Amino acid sequence: MPPLRIGIVGAGIMGDMHGRVFAQQPDCQLAAVCDPVLEKAQALAGKLGAPAAFAGCEAMLAATHLDLVSICTPDFAHAAPAMAAIGAGKHVLVEKPLAVTVADAEAIIAAARTKGVVAMAQFSHRWIPAYRQAHDLLAGGKLGEPLLACARKNDRIFVPTEMISWANRTTPAWFLSSHDIDLVCWCFDLEPIEVYASAVRKVLVARGIDTPDAIHAQVRFAGGAVATFEACWTYPDTFPTMTDSFLELITTGSVIHLDRKREQVEVSTPRSFEYPRNLLLYAYEDGDLGGAVVQSLRHFIRCVRTGSQPSVTLESSLRVTRILDAIQRSIGSGGPVKV
């Protein structure tokens, strides 16, 4: 069986991550990288051993035979390359969220169905064993009916001020809560009905970055269950981990706590106290990669090979976009809105 020829769209942090994982899969071949900054595309292509680099997705699609396109652009720039790749008949993996408007998400889904390609939004947290176990424990109502969920995902201020250059074009809800919204919807398996959200703007606006410091949203689901989602990215850089992540799931017969602030490791030195991250992607001594990102990309490769539907369905990813869209509308209106 010939290898899947893969093109990477976006030569930033996630493009590097996806590319490193795909490069280690025996049934994959990295064929090209594209980025609006051609020098970045060329640098990543050289690092990963891809033979071609382009300044745009359309040029890459026109000049290179590809089977699969991995879209690793900022969240506001997912729709155009996804539609171009699907239009060219390529299988498409899109970093979370699927799109930042309901219309774009629906268009991607319709195009994928029409073209008959395999497509998935990359909600890699579903492959973290603890989250998977929580889902399996709750499946089919084995531990009772969903009542309440509380999710917190907060970043050091390093993220919007230094790690990404496009924080003013997104929000902490799109960037952070998208993961938690997907996890709660997946574990509770309920349809969202209404959202009430608020945003705080002080720290980042003062630094010239026009985006909220924090967003707090409450989502009401069919059947009466309620979930709250907290996202903030102004923690001091002295906080011992890049991301403070916690999820609580309460049913009529159980409580499940998932605390990822510490991923089992604490490191104290004369200079700092830290909780190093290791569950999403970890490089072993021989360079082999492990973690949830690896497992999620391998799952997608298997789906492409077999033509089966990914476990992260396009419809479930549309639900996440609908909730995030409602969060934005609620912040704008100052009151509750229907999803």
pLDDT in tens, 272-283: 999 999 999 999
SS3 147: strand
Tell me the per-residue pLDDT of 147-204, one tens digit each, with 9 for 90 and over.
Answer: 999 999 999 999 999 999 999 999 999 999 999 999 999 999 999 999 999 999 999 9
Q: Span 220-229, mean pLDDT?
A: 97
273-296 as b/e, with b when 16 or more CB fall inside 10 Å? ebbebebbbbeeeeeebebbbbbb
Helix axis angle for 102-115 and 314-333, nearest 10°, is 170
> Domain residue spans in the chain?
4-122, 126-288+318-338
- pLDDT over threshold 90, residue 1: no
What is the C-alpha separation between 292 and 210, in angstroms, rounded?
Answer: 32
Instruction: Using only the alpha carbons of the chain, give its radius of gyration.
Output: 20
Tell me the per-residue pLDDT of 300-323, one tens digit each, with 9 for 90 and over.
Answer: 999 999 999 999 999 999 999 999
What is the C-alpha separation between 27 and 22, in angstroms, rounded?
Answer: 9
> What per-residue confidence (pLDDT) applies to 150?
98
> What per-residue confidence (pLDDT) applies to 181?
98
> What per-residue confidence (pLDDT) applies to 286?
85
CATH of 126-288+318-338, one of 3.30.360.10, 3.30.590.10, 3.30.230.10, 3.30.1330.10: 3.30.360.10
Name the band, by pLDDT with cuts 50, 70 and 90, for residue 287. confident
**Which of 42, 2, 49 is closest to 23 using CA atoms?**
49
**Tokens representing residue 119 in the block:** 């497509």
Bridging pattern class, strands 28-34 and 4-9: parallel
**Tokens representing residue 213 in the block:** 């410091």
pTM of the model: 0.96
> What per-residue confidence (pLDDT) applies to 212?
98
Residues 6+ apart with CB under 8 A from 281: 17, 21, 289, 290, 291, 292, 293, 294
DSSP 8-state secondary structure symbol assigned to residue 294? H
Give the whole-number percent of the chain exceeding pLDDT 90. Answer: 98
What is the C-alpha separation between 28 and 37, in angstroms, rounded?
Answer: 25
- Residue pointed to by tokens 């230094």: 162
Q: How many CB atoms lie within 10 A of CB 137?
A: 14
Q: Which CATH superfamily is domain 4-122 in?
A: NAD(P)-binding Rossmann-like Domain (3.40.50.720)
CA distances from 7 to 67, 104, 339 (A): 8, 22, 35
What is the C-alpha separation between 193 and 190, in angstroms, rounded?
Answer: 9
Tell me the per-residue pLDDT of 7-41, one tens digit each, with 9 for 90 and over.
Answer: 999 999 999 999 999 999 999 999 999 999 999 99
